[in-house]
Amino acid sequence: MNGIIVYKGKYGATWQYAEWAGQELNMPVLMSENCTEDKVQESDFLVVGTSVYIGSLVIKQWLHDNVRNIGQKQIFLFIVCGTPANEKQKLEGYIQSSVPKEIINQCTCFFLPGRLAYKKLSRMDKFLLRLGALLPSNRNKNKTIMEDYDSVKQENLIPLVSAVRTHVNNTPITAVVQPL
């Protein structure tokens, strides 16, 4: 079985996870912009990584553009974000709003903690973050929503790597018998 890791992110956390996963699983890692239709079609399964931006997966358009090429392939989707794990409804909303209905049932999803380096954000992203802090749902989090954090750690990938390995190892292998 062969697979590829396809990712799209904004500030480097998704890239870091994709690189670590590629090393651990011995799989090629491609930015979504560099992943051709042929690469997707040649793969038996996909590991897809994405960050979240304004409530949407940044790889959303790539998923929609490649529905036909993905076909019935197993997809291991890892989503890098700052949303706490206990906000299940919000996390589920990211998937429902971004993953095409045709492939959503083929996805095994993993939420990985991200990072925020406020000084590295673009002006627009700083503005949007400040604006988000003013929302009624964030009033109690006003201060912490703009504090730097870095929760990107290689050990966060253990469940994803384990699931991919299980998938690969449970796939029936057809032996090719050479005539004598």
Sequence ranges of the domains in the chain: 3-114+151-170, 116-150
Judged against a pLDDT cut of 70, whether residue 143 lies above it is answered with no
Mean pLDDT for the chain overall: 87
Reported as a single tens digit per residue, the pLDDT across 35-50 is: 999 999 999 999 999 9
Q: State the average pLDDT over residues 158-169.
A: 94
Pick the CATH number of 3-114+151-170 from 3.40.50.360, 3.40.50.300, 1.10.10.10, 3.40.50.2300: 3.40.50.360
Give the sign of the dihedral formed by CA 48, CA 63, CA 74, CA 93. positive
Of 93-97, 127-131, 135-139, 154-158, which range is least confident? 135-139
Where do the DSSP E strands lie in 15-145?
A: 29-31, 45-53, 56-57, 74-81, 107-113, 115-116
| Alpha-carbon span 48 to 30, nearest angstrom | 10
